[in-house]
Structure 1
């Protein structure tokens, strides 16, 4: 399922780490929609569940200006959501239908303007060209951000894709993925994460990621699921959402 939500900010501001705001929104919506499912997704034996979530999103801002800690947004805030999981999609969509406004940290209030379903593409070919809707993030086993030209980039992309597919459908990749940059640009994103701040004392985690156009070769069924789930790491935190060109 794929849908689009348009918001307006009441005070025309967002935190610089706005992805955390939307992650918090999803948790709130799922908890209110189906508390049992919410606990299943986010907790395991009363601890945080590290299993990859069946949720991916991107945010597009209109008429904005980035400051040191906040973003001034004079236009629409467009939230794109995708999931390959029907239950996740239904619970989120129904929760968003009921949502009128969302407040984050008693400071940022978003008012919902509209909610629409988006027609999904179906992958039928082995080789396809995609564009990013949110930057793709790939890291190695030591949590080091990987440069797109690093020989490990494709290896780790295959690793996280294989892991996700095993969790989602019970078996991993049918074929190895081959990622080829066409017109990709590096980005440094600021993420505000409580655990990171508590451990390091730093307010923001800096994430090196990439946006643009690329080709991806692989089994069509594998790629179709990854199109709906996101391609890469931190997909449930607003990274790695893609669309076919």
Structure 2
């Protein structure tokens, strides 16, 4: 399940991920404070959603996007409860303010998703795929440990959200992935963190139920913070 929202705004931050996290939090709190506290009770808890951002017709000036078109936000989740509360909350928000940035909601629509029908799917990233080792160091896509760490975090996500880990190991086949370095303020304060991630198109082999779930929950690390959102193509 996924929802696409269009926003009208004049300016949008280059480091936008925490702004969208704040948007999602506000929508959930407006809809159900009980559910909001359920999924944000612990900082270490895996949240059942991923998101990607698309900007239409923009220019970069200093540390902001000057938006001539619109900002599109796609939020995906395998959890119907999350989607219900998020949809109800976002529909009650005509305007959203984050620091000095202001957005007006234009359009909200449910998005049709390509079903997973086999053990191999072709996917593209909606937000960069982030894979790290236990020391929180980036793992490059051509390193032997990339697939190992992808399986580790995927199994953890499935266990925490679905209750059952991977039904079979994942195999990652790099088709056309480009390395990107993302600058973001993840924590409070002004400290800028750098994340080495990948965006593009790839093949993923695994159990169809795992692939379906991960295509909405997100792949890799920090999937509820604007990394690892994917769609089946």
| TM-score tier after normalising by the smaller chain length | over 0.9
Gap change, CA 1:207 and 1:67, over 3 Å in 2: farther
Structure 1 residue 67 displacement after superposition: 3.7
Tell me if structure 1 keeps the 8 A contact 2:113–2:231: no
Quote the residue 1:161 is aligned against.
154
Quote the residue 2:84 is aligned against.
90
Quote the residue 1:115 is aligned against.
108
Structure 1 residue 235 displacement after superposition: 0.9
Secondary structure at the residue paired with 1:75?
A: strand
Q: Distance in 1 between matches of 2:32 and 2:60?
A: 36
Quote the residue 2:7 is aligned against.
7
Quote the residue 2:52 is aligned against.
58
Structure 1 residue 203 displacement after superposition: 3.0
Secondary structure at the residue paired with 2:97?
A: strand
Q: Which contiguous aligned blocks of 4+ residues in structure 1 show a shift greater than 3 angstroms?
A: none
Query: Within 5 Å, which residues of 2 pair with 1:135-174?
Result: 135-174=128-167
Structure 1 residue 29 displacement after superposition: 1.1
- Count of residues paired in the alignment: 233
Quote the residue 1:25 is aligned against.
23
Structure 1 stretch displaced more, 61-70 or 211-220: 61-70
Structure 1 residue 169 displacement after superposition: 2.0
Quote the residue 1:236 is aligned against.
224
Secondary structure at the residue paired with 1:93?
A: helix
Structure 1 residue 193 displacement after superposition: 2.4
Quote the residue 1:216 is aligned against.
204
Quote the residue 2:14 is aligned against.
16
Q: Distance in 2 between matches of 1:96 and 1:28?
A: 8
Structure 1 residues not aligned, in runs of 5+ = none
Give per-residue Cα distances to partners, 1:48-92, cap 9 Å, x unaligned. x31110011000001122344222221110101100011100000
Give per-residue Cα distances to partners, 1:192-213, cap 9 Å, x unaligned. 1234x4xxxx631111111111
Give per-residue Cα distances to partners, 1:9-62, cap 9 Å, x unaligned. 1xx111221111010011111112111111111114xxxx31110011000001
Match of 1:132 among 110, 121, 125: 125
Structure 1 residue 4 displacement after superposition: 0.5
Quote the residue 1:42 is aligned against.
40
Structure 1 residue 148 displacement after superposition: 0.9
TM-score after normalising by structure 1: 0.92
